[in-house]
């Protein structure tokens, strides 16, 4: 009887010891996590350098709207229509259906993060051309039209001065915006457009 | 009392578990609201139907390359996310469902950098804290089943590192965010706030305010937000300023939610953390007393009203120090 009581006591002691260790480990992890958030906000690169990138990613949450916007940024695409030999606006929203009408849309995010990354831009080019050819949506270009490539840009719409009367933001066709507000980041190489269209191109850009 | 003792006392002091339950009930609903657009297009979000950023081999913008999933797997993860989120919110098999919910959220955030925002990064950690902590003991299916089986209620107060973590999280976020803002433009650009309310996030309310608020008031609001954020550790720690900090924080997030369209989910996430973490104890006590009365006379009847008794707090502190 005594032996059984002692065994039970030892077992509960061991369990309590493990609970204490687990609690200490969890507290340490929590402190490190909160410290990394604070350091990241303070501009310290230790968390990004010291933690594996997938873990550091979850600590990069505090730097929200730190800079004044110089313009309202929107990202758009045009497609090279083979039969017309010209660039026509391609509405990307049918091919990026998550949050299609605001800048949380994945096309906007791809452009925001990766517009200077050629590999991603080539992949985006392939994706848009293939999507239009294989499962055309309501993208502003006739379903039967082949497209040979895309060019992608940002629109930099000026912010109206404080106190002025201005129109509420809405998405207009590309033609609504002056050329000075467009900044091109990517254009399908001409040779590739020609190959996809299966013909020579007249425009020499 | 030394600083170390104070910290240990603060960590080990029994806290109202209802704080955790508020997060457990509201947070999964907020997160699912944010995720809904993604989940309903799971094949585009996690699968091969949508655009995937290729493997960039260690590029800083890609924390981890996750190849696209087959459509059935993408939809399965979406279904698991919704089911486990709902189960966590109603408190059914809370620990297991919260672990599954957290795992699906971690996967979603890492799998698609393009659809990952602050909510995507914070929510798996918050839900993990729920899974580790004693969530699901009140106002839950688990609690109801426990009472039916044993005839007793779980305690309404107990030490909980999860509650303390969820109290520290928003304050740390504010401080870090305030420092980042101060280091960037907020101290020398007078119209940072105004500049942010244009574009596709703009709601009718933001549009209205952008036209009627005079220029100096934008700068005053900007200063108030920056002051609130950078001083949050002090204002939330000090009992006298805490209610004011809470009201300011709730007001700030309400305005963010009303003015910034899709950012409403982040605003709701922060409001949930603030309410759960810093709602004054008299209000919590009243709420617990009400639910205790509804639950009947069985089980633990301790409530936060007794915690407010200074004599009891002093006795508890003394006994803890002695031990």
In this predicted model, what pLDDT tens digit does every residue of B133-145 receive, in sequence order?
999 998 999 999 9
Q: What tokens does A1 get?
A: 């009887």
Do B26 and B130 reside in the same domain of the chain?
Answer: yes
Range of the domain at B230: 164-279
Nearest CA distance, A188 vs chain B (angstrom): 17
Q: What tokens does B159 get?
A: 């030490």
Do B125 and B198 reside in the same domain of the chain?
Answer: no
∠ CA A56-A59-A65, rounded to 5°: 120
User: CA-CA distance, A22 to B255, in Å (whole number)?
Assistant: 40
Strand partners, B69: B47
Residue B235 falls inside a structural domain: yes
Per-residue pLDDT of A57-100, as tens digits, reads 999 999 999 999 999 999 999 999 999 999 999 999 999 999 99
Q: Where are the beta strands (DSSP E) in chain A?
A: 71-81, 86-90, 147-158, 182-187
Q: Which residues contact B8 (CB under 8 A, 6 or more apart)?
A: none
User: CA-CA distance, B21 to A107, in Å (whole number)?
Assistant: 38
Do B65 and B170 reside in the same domain of the chain?
Answer: no
pLDDT of A152 higher than 50:
yes
Chain A interface mutation, best of B8, B52, B159, B176, highest count of A Cβ atoms under 10 Å:
B176
Residue B90 falls inside a structural domain: yes
pLDDT of B152 higher than 90:
no
Query: What's the Cα-to-Cα distance from A146 to each of A114, A137, A143, rounded to whole Å?
Result: 26, 13, 8
**What is the tally of structural domains in chain B?**
2
pLDDT of B229 higher than 60:
yes
Do B181 and B84 reside in the same domain of the chain?
Answer: no
pLDDT band at B323 (very low <50, low <70, confident <90, very high): very low
User: CA-CA distance, B237 to A65, in Å (whole number)?
Assistant: 26
- Give the Cβ contact number of residue B281 at 10 Å: 16
The one-character DSSP state at A4 is H
Do B120 and B168 reside in the same domain of the chain?
Answer: no
Whether residues B176 and A62 touch (CB distance < 8 A) is answered with yes
Domain boundary, last residue among B135, B156, B189: B135
User: CA-CA distance, B47 to A195, in Å (whole number)?
Assistant: 29
What pLDDT sits at residue B299? 47
Average the pLDDT over B157-179 and give the result.
Answer: 94
User: CA-CA distance, A20 to A10, in Å (whole number)?
Assistant: 15
What pLDDT sits at residue B214? 94
Residue B196 falls inside a structural domain: yes
pLDDT higher for B264 or B284?
Answer: B264
Is residue B143 a contact partner of residue B91, using CB atoms and an 8 Å limit?
yes
The C-alpha R_g of chain A, in whole angstroms, comes to 27
Q: Percent of chain A having pLDDT more than 70?
A: 96
Strand partners, A186: A152
- Give the Cβ contact number of residue B211 at 10 Å: 14
Query: What's the Cα-to-Cα distance from A86 to each of A83, A141, A150, B46, rounded to whole Å?
Result: 8, 12, 11, 34
Residue B202 falls inside a structural domain: yes
Q: Is B7 in CB contact (< 8 Å) with chain A?
A: no
Residue B24 falls inside a structural domain: yes
Whether residues A113 and B181 touch (CB distance < 8 A) is answered with no
Residue of B nearest to A97 (CA): B41
Query: What's the Cα-to-Cα distance from B59 to each of A113, B55, B56, B64, B131, rounded to whole Å?
Result: 11, 9, 5, 9, 32
Strand partners, A182: A155
Whether residues B194 and A162 touch (CB distance < 8 A) is answered with yes
Whether residues B198 and A169 touch (CB distance < 8 A) is answered with yes
Chain B interface mutation, best of A29, A74, A98, highest count of B Cβ atoms under 10 Å:
A98
pLDDT higher for A11 or B31?
Answer: B31
Do B274 and B169 reside in the same domain of the chain?
Answer: yes
Work out the mean pLDDT of chain B and round it to a whole number: 90
Which ipTM was obtained for this model? 0.90
What pLDDT sits at residue B287? 76
Whether residues B11 and A63 touch (CB distance < 8 A) is answered with no
Whether residues A69 and B198 touch (CB distance < 8 A) is answered with yes
Inter-chain contacts counted by CB atoms under 8 A, chains A and B: 184
Q: Give A70's contacts in chain B (Cβ within 8 Å).
A: 195
Chain B interface mutation, best of A36, A38, A47, A64, highest count of B Cβ atoms under 10 Å:
A64
B 158-217 residues with CB below 8 A of A?
Answer: 161, 165, 168-169, 172-173, 175-181, 183-186, 189, 191-192, 194-196, 198-202, 204, 207, 210-211, 214-215
Do B125 and B38 reside in the same domain of the chain?
Answer: yes
What pLDDT sits at residue B319? 53
Per-residue pLDDT of B26-55, as tens digits, reads 999 999 999 999 999 999 999 999 999 999
What pLDDT sits at residue B285? 81
Do B98 and B173 reside in the same domain of the chain?
Answer: no
Do B96 and B186 reside in the same domain of the chain?
Answer: no
How would you write B237-274 as a 3-class SS string?
A: HCCCCHHHHHHHHHHHHHHHHHHCHHHHHHHHHHHHHH
- Give the Cβ contact number of residue B131 at 10 Å: 21
H/E element, B96: helix B94-111
Do B25 and B95 reside in the same domain of the chain?
Answer: yes
User: CA-CA distance, A129 to A193, in Å (whole number)?
Assistant: 10
Domain boundary, last residue among B244, B262, B279: B279
Per-residue pLDDT of B77-119, as tens digits, reads 999 999 999 999 999 999 999 999 999 999 999 999 898 899 9
Query: What's the Cα-to-Cα distance from A178 to each of A30, A81, A172, rounded to whole Å?
Result: 51, 22, 12
Domain boundary, last residue among B135, B153, B183: B135
Residue B323 falls inside a structural domain: no
Do B168 and B273 reside in the same domain of the chain?
Answer: yes
Nearest CA distance, A110 vs chain B (angstrom): 6
Range among A134-148, B264-278, B297-311 with highest mean pLDDT value: B264-278
| pTM confidence score | 0.90
pLDDT higher for A51 or A200?
Answer: A51
Do B173 and B275 reside in the same domain of the chain?
Answer: yes
What pLDDT sits at residue B292? 67
């Amino acid at each position: 009887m005594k032996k059984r009581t002692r065994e039970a006591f030892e077992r509960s002691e061991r369990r309590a010891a493990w609970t204490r260790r687990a609690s200490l480990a969890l507290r340490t992890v929590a402190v490190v996590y909160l410290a990394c958030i604070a350091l990241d906000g303070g501009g310290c690169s230790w968390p990004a350098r010291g933690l594996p990138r997938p873990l550091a990613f979850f600590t990069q949450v505090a730097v929200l709207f730190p800079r004044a916007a110089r313009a309202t940024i929107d990202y758009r695409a045009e497609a090279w229509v083979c039969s017309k030999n010209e660039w026509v606006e391609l509405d990307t929203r049918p091919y990026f259906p998550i949050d299609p009408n605001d800048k949380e849309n994945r096309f906007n995010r791809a452009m925001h993060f990766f517009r200077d990354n050629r590999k991603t831009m080539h992949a985006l080019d392939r994706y848009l051309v293939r999507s239009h050819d294989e499962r055309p949506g309501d993208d502003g270009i006739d379903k039967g039209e082949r497209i040979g490539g895309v060019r992608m840009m940002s629109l930099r719409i000026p912010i109206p001065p404080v106190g002025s009367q201005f129109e509420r933001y809405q998405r207009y066709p590309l033609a609504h915006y002056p050329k000075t507000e467009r900044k091109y980041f990517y254009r399908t190489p001409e040779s590739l457009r020609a190959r996809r269209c299966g013909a020579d191109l007249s425009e020499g850009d | 009392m030394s600083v170390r003792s104070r910290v240990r006392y603060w960590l080990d002091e029994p806290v109202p578990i209802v704080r955790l339950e508020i997060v457990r009930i509201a947070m999964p609903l907020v997160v699912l609201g944010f995720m809904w657009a993604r989940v309903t297009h799971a094949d585009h979000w996690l699968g091969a139907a949508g655009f995937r950023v290729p493997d960039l081999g260690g590029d800083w913008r890609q924390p981890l390359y996750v190849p696209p999933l087959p459509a059935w797997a993408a939809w399965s993860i979406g279904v698991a996310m919704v089911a486990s989120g709902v189960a966590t919110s109603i408190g059914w098999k809370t620990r297991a469902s919260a672990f599954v919910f957290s795992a699906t959220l971690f996967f979603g955030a890492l799998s698609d950098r393009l659809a990952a925002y602050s909510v995507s990064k914070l929510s798996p950690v918050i839900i993990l804290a729920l899974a580790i902590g004693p969530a699901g003991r009140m106002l839950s299916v688990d609690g109801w089943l426990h009472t039916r089986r044993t005839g007793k209620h779980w305690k309404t107060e107990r030490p909980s590192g999860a509650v303390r973590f969820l109290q520290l999280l928003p304050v740390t976020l504010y401080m870090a965010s305030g420092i980042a803002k101060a280091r960037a433009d907020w101290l020398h650009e007078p119209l940072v706030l105004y500049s942010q309310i244009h574009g596709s996030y703009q709601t009718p309310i933001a549009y209205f305010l952008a036209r009627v608020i005079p220029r100096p008031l934008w700068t005053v609001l900007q200063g108030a937000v920056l002051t609130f954020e950078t001083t949050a550790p002090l204002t939330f720690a000090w009992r006298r300023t805490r209610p004011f900090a809470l009201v300011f924080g709730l007001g700030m997030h309400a305005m963010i939610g009303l003015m910034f369209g899709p950012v409403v989910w982040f605003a709701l996430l922060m409001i949930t953390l603030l309410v759960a973490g810093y709602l004054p104890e008299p209000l919590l006590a009243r709420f617990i007393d009400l639910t205790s009365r509804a639950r009947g006379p069985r089980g633990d009847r301790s409530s936060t009203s007794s915690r407010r008794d200074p004599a009891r707090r002093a006795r508890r502190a003394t006994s803890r120090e002695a031990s």
